[in-house]
Each structure stands twice: as C-alpha cells, then as structure tokens.
C-alpha cells in the first residue's frame, strides 16, 4: 500500500489548504455565531470549484465520488475522483466543517447522484445543488425502516412522508429523497428520488438549532402528495428481492469515506493547533520512548497515531471505490474509525489546552462541537460496527441485529 498522496493531486491539496487557512478560518467564528445565515463568501469559492471541475475526468468535488468507469483508458491502478474529492475534503475541513458542508453544488446529494444516476440524469442534474434526505422521525440509524412512500401514478411518483436533519435541505436546489415503493416488501423496495425545490407538495417546515456546524443549514421537510417525474428515480425502478437494499446503499460506499475525510481534517487541525499552543511546554521527540515523555507529549503521540490510522483507512476506502473494488466494509470501517477519532482528538485537545481550549478566542472549542456530528450522520458509530460485523461474519441484517 502506497502511504503517500498521489503526486498529481499535490496542487489540489495545496490549493485546498490555502482556502482552509486564508478563506475558511477567518470567517469560521462569524458564521458559528450567525446560525442559519448563508455564507455569501462561498459563492465565489463554488464558482472556482465549478471552473476547476469543468471537463475534468477527475474533479475535486462531491460530484466526482462515483464508481462509474472513467474516460481514462488506463486499466491499472487508478487514483480517481473519489480520492481527489477525499483529499480536497480533508484539507477544507482543516479550515471549517460547517463551511465545507455549505458550499453550493457540493452536497451529499450530489455524491448520491454521481454514484447511481444514469447518463441522462447526470446531464440533466449537472450544476444542481442537491441535499440528501434519509432520516425520519422514528427512523434514524435504521435506513431500512423508512416510511416515506412513493406510489406510481402514470409517468410520476407521488411522495408522502417527512424527512428530518437534512443537511443543506433549505438552501439546496434539489433533495435526494429515500422512499419505499411497497412497505410490505421491506428494504428491497426503497428507492431514491431527486425532488427539486418548488415542487408542489414539498415544504421546508423548520431549521434546526445545533451544537455545531452552524454555518450549514439542517432542515425538516414534509412531502404531501408531492408529484415527482418517474425520470427522477435514481437507478432501476424494479424491486429486486435478491439484491435487496444494495442498490441505494451503494451511495454510502462513496459518501462515508467523504464524511470520514471531514473527521480526519478537523482532527488534524486540532492536533496542530494544540502543538502550537503548547510549544513552550512540550518537547516532542519521536525517537524517544513514550514512557520518557510528559503526559501531554505522550497524549499527543497517541492522538497522532489514531489520526494517522483513520487517514490511511479512509484513503484506502476511496482508492477501492476508484478501482471499482467492493468497499462497503471498508467504507464503514473508515467512517467508524475517523468519526470516533475526531471526537476523541478534539475533546482531548481542548483538555490539553485547558482554559485556552475552552474559550471562544480559540477554534479548538468549536472544532470539538463540530466533530460530534461526524460520528453520527451517514450512519452512527454503532451502525457502522454492526455493518462491519455482518460483513466479517457473512451474516445478513435478519441474522445479526
């Protein structure tokens, strides 16, 4: 396994780090205090990303996270769109997670469209900012328990139900909605639909007040006899009882490494800032035994090791997606590891920095708040461990709950 970033992405990584340092961090606290205010500064950044991605086989945003074949005819090892998107996410979240989630046209719904849409849909939804709506009241971690319904009616589907905790749900131009075609057939009947804002029957009912990522809006949306064209169903409309839930779950194979990358980015930010704050009190020596180090030094050694493990696991999952290698288990492994690591790292860095880490003069306390959601959305820590166990033991959801 090559442990270095691909050289062809060095400019991407450098540019993303510059954005994090000089663009995100100066406005990070401003939008943390102004929850639900849209960061107008992001419009320019979104336009720059659009320009960088135009006509590129391997772009830098969420729309590149896909397992579809590349135009590149190289049949050997590929470092493609998933890895480039991941590296960009890691660097941008070194600056601010909430602002990364608020960039127009870079939502998780865009990654979902990139993962499973056909060529006609890719062309039609190109340039649309798409959120992703899965969670429902009474249906959080268990995506298979979705109760939002989609009933075929001529050339349309009629959606009824409620979605909550939709990231960018109010600002995005469209929402990828998970709904069931037949409740009696269980998870095999769950499909995803692209529903554009302004569609009659779709209504944003509230915006949530949150612990962190306040620059990103989180909405509740209801669908009441919402008529959606059948052409907006992503993937095949047939219900395959053999394949089951695998079709829509392929989305997570691409998005979970991206969320893990967010966690990796904020963990590194916390570690590096803590080193700066403690520079006069510690003397890091990686050639010495941890037993000979102070408590703060030994703690930083351990946090760095956890961070590095999370980073490498995340890069492996993205690389597998680029090479069209089944990566469901690895996507869950990296999401579980990185989410837990970011939580531990940011909280421990607040502790090490003492009163400095707890005040609003430093971003450490904000990163600690922001990091918690990264262990929750796109599947909680516990759900990831359950998925990993099923994969390792070769058991289905009915056998291992």
> In which residue are the tokens 């990686």 written?
286
Q: Could you identify the residue written with the tokens 């900012």?
A: 129
Q: What residue has token string 């390792």?
A: 392
Nearest-angstrom CA–CA distance, 267 and 283: 21
Torsion sign, CA atoms 326, 331, 333, 334: positive
Question: 164, 122 in Cβ contact below 8 A?
Answer: no
Active-site residue flag, 196: no
Q: Give Rg (Cα) of the chain.
A: 21
The DSSP H or E segment spanning 81 is helix 81-93
The CA-based dihedral angle spanning residues 348, 354, 359, 363, taken in that order and rounded to the nearest 10 degrees: -40
C-alpha span between 338 and 326 (Å, rounded): 20
Q: Cα 364–369–371 angle (5° rounding)?
A: 90
Q: Where are the alpha helices (DSSP H) in 281-327?
A: 295-322
Catalytic residue among 162, 250, 365, 378: 378
Instruction: Quote the distance between the C-alpha of residue 118 and its chain's center.
Output: 22
Q: Say how far apart CA 49 and CA 23 lie, in whole Å.
A: 14
From residue 382, give the alpha-carbon distance in Å to each of 340, 341, 375, 396. Answer: 11, 14, 9, 16
Helices 295-322 and 328-353: angle between axes, nearest 10 degrees = 160
Which residues are tagged catalytic? 378
């Amino acid at each position: 396994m090559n442990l270095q970033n691909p050289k062809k992405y060095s400019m991407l990584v450098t540019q993303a780090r510059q954005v994090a340092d000089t663009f995100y961090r100066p406005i990070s606290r401003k939008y943390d205090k102004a929850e639900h205010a849209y960061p107008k500064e992001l419009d320019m950044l979104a336009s720059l990303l659009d320009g960088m991605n135009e006509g590129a086989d391997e772009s830098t945003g969420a729309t590149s996270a896909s397992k579809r074949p590349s135009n590149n005819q190289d049949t050997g090892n590929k470092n493609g769109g998933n890895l480039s998107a991941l590296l960009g996410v890691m660097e941008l979240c070194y600056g601010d997670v909430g602002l990364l989630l608020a960039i127009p046209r870079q939502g998780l719904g865009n990654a979902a469209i990139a993962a499973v849409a056909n060529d006609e849909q890719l062309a039609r939804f190109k340039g649309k900012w798409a959120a992703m709506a899965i969670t429902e009241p009474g249906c959080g971690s268990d995506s298979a328990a979705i109760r939002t319904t989609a009933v075929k009616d001529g050339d349309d589907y009629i959606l009824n139900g409620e979605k909550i905790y939709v990231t960018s749900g109010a600002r995005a131009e469209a929402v990828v909605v998970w709904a069931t075609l037949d409740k009696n057939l269980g998870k095999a009947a769950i499909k995803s639909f692209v529903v554009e804002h302004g569609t009659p029957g779709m209504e944003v009912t509230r915006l949530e007040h949150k612990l962190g990522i306040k620059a990103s809006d989180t909405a509740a949306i209801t669908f009441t006899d919402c008529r959606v064209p059948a052409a907006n169903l992503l993937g095949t409309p047939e219900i395959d009882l053999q394949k089951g839930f695998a079709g829509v779950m392929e989305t997570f194979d691409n998005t979970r490494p991206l969320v893990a990358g967010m966690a990796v980015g904020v963990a590194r930010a916390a570690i590096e800032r803590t080193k700066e704050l403690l520079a006069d009190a510690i003397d890091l020596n990686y050639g010495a035994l941890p037993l000979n180090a102070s408590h703060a030094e030994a703690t930083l050694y351990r946090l760095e090791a956890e961070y590095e493990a999370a980073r490498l696991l995340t890069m492996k999952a993205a690389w597998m997606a680029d090479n069209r290698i089944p990566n469901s288990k690895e996507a869950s492994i990296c999401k579980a590891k990185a989410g837990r690591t970011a939580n531990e790292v940011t909280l421990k860095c607040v502790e090490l920095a003492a009163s400095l880490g707890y005040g609003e003069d430093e971003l450490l306390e904000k990163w600690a708040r922001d990091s918690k959601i990264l262990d929750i959305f796109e599947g909680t820590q516990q759900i990831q461990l359950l998925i990993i166990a099923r994969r390792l033991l070769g058991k289905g959801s009915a056998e291992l709950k």
